[in-house]
Amino acid sequence: MKKINYLLIFILNFGFISTQAKQFYELNNKNYKDYVQTVLFYPGDEPLRDPILYLDNVRKLTLSFDILGSDVEIFNYTIVHCSYDWQLSDLQRIEYIFGYEEDQIRDFRYSLNTLKPFIHYDFVFPNENMRPKLSGNYVLIVYGSTLDEEHILFTRRFMVVDTKSSIAVSIPQYPKNPDYVKTKHQVDVQVIADNTYRVNPMESLHLVIKQNGRWDNAVVGLKPNYVYSDKLTYEYDEATVFDGGNQFRNFDMKSFKYQSEFIQEIRQESDHFSVQLWPSKRRNNKVYVLERDIFGRKLIKARDDQDSNIEGDYAWVYFYLDYPAPMANESIYIIGALNDWNLDEDAKMHYNYEAKRYEGKMFLKQGYYNYLYGIIENSSQKADVTPIEGDFWETQSEYSVFLYFKKPGTVYDQLVGYTVKQSHIYE
């Protein structure tokens, strides 16, 4: 009997290892090649919205990206279904895909009059060849001739909603914890749903709250604290509290012919532009000032007389943050859609002892960009913006709320509710 048990454990472990070995990609927004630039994924013609589809709607998503260089290649793509917390679902592709399980991206254009040559690709999803069959979380995978580690280009998250519930969100001026008054955002959620979703909600329901575009500080898998006859509530003292932070910093490089407010210098190099931003200063001890932003996003845009997709050029953008001395056990990162909200080496800043400041750089296409500075302890994966940017209740942030339901007898999480709430709306 013991031999059989050991054999079963070995088989299960081997199968698990083999499955993990096959997954050479991450289930998040990531570029795997340096020559892949400016991946955009958004609904229709709304580049400042998240890639959200509705199961009973004809809404489409637009995907576009640039491949540096002059060599044309036909790329492939597929989609994978994920759980509420972005793990692979226990589903076969045929269970969640209508049409082909992989398709090609063929539409491309060459860059025009740019220092940095590139090929611009775009296509619309879903289409007649492929569309999702189920609601939930998905990851789009774009790759070359074969789906393997050598040929993968990038992965991008998107969601499909099958609206079965109504979600109401409020951010009260006075949080339950008095220590958070004037600084934190307490996000209270109420869900109006029928009896189907109120049966064993602690097991079947998962709530996710995302602040702006950040996943590092998202609340994932929250359970309701009260279940009533007609609603469920998610109103916690701590679990749904977010740092107020501050409005996003910004810079405008839609044109390389003039220096906008936060740009110190623009230089034309042999095959790209160089953009030096003015040194930033900490805002944690300053008075809050309302400055309109786009919630950390980026808007790819060249001059009005140019086609931004193929005439927008590239620049190395240099960031500077004055800091009296380097930190011993923490690092500073640039946070925003400019690198798809990733807290990776590209976003990490390095200390310049001579200039007494942190410095970083990113390779970016012409446009308008938002960003913040955040600190990460060496053992953490979550950034804290408050020591640099400050912490203000007045800050206007955008909160996305997702409700997932695992129906008894099924093996996947349906996305049955979605809404977006701004913490404040200023006239």
pLDDT tens for residues 238-273? 999 999 999 999 999 999 998 999 999 999 999 999
Peptide bond preceding 126: is omega within 30 degrees of 0, i.e. cis?
yes
Closest by CA position to 208, among listed 194, 195, 222: 222
Region 326-355 average pLDDT:
96
Contact by Cβ (8 Å): 42, 65: no
Higher pLDDT, 37 or 193: 37
Q: How confident is the model at residue 22 (pLDDT cuts 50, 70, 90)?
A: low
Backbone φ and ψ of 196, nearest 5°: -55, -40
pLDDT digits (tens, 9 = 90+) for 66-106: 999 999 999 999 999 999 999 999 999 999 999 999 999 99
Q: What integer is the mean pLDDT of 266-292?
A: 95
Could you report the per-residue pLDDT of 191-207, keeping only the tens digit for each?
A: 998 888 777 888 899 99
HSE-CB for 204 with a 13 A CA cutoff = 16
Among 193-207, 271-285, 353-367, 372-386, the range scoring the smallest mean pLDDT is 193-207
Q: 19 pLDDT exceeds 50?
A: no
pLDDT (tens digit per residue) in 160-200 = 999 999 999 999 999 999 999 999 999 999 999 888 877 78
Residue 330: HSE in the Cβ half-sphere, 13 Å Cα cutoff: 17
> What pLDDT is stored for residue 56 in this prediction?
85
pLDDT confidence tier of residue 426, bands split at 50, 70 and 90: low
- For residue 45, pLDDT over 60 is answered with yes
351 to 278, 280, 324, 347, 354: CA distances (angstroms): 16, 14, 10, 13, 9
In the chain the domains, ranked by start, together with CATH numbers, are 25-161 (2.60.40), 166-244+395-422 (2.60.40), 249-389 (no CATH)
What percent of the chain has a predicted confidence (pLDDT) above 70? 94
pLDDT beyond 80 at 328 = yes
- CA torsion angle for 320, 324, 327, 328 (degrees, to 10)? 140
The DSSP output letter for 346 is T
As a dihedral over the C-alpha atoms of residue 296, residue 401, residue 234, residue 377, rounded to 10 degrees, the angle is -40
Which amino acid appears at position 405 of this protein? F
Q: In the beta sheet, which residues pair with residue 206?
A: 404
- Rounded to the nearest integer, the mean pLDDT of the chain is 92
DSSP-based three-state secondary structure for 351: strand
For 33, the 3-state DSSP assignment is: coil
Amino acid letter at 401?
V
- Give me 255's structure tokens: 């044109």
Per DSSP, the three-state class of 214 is: coil
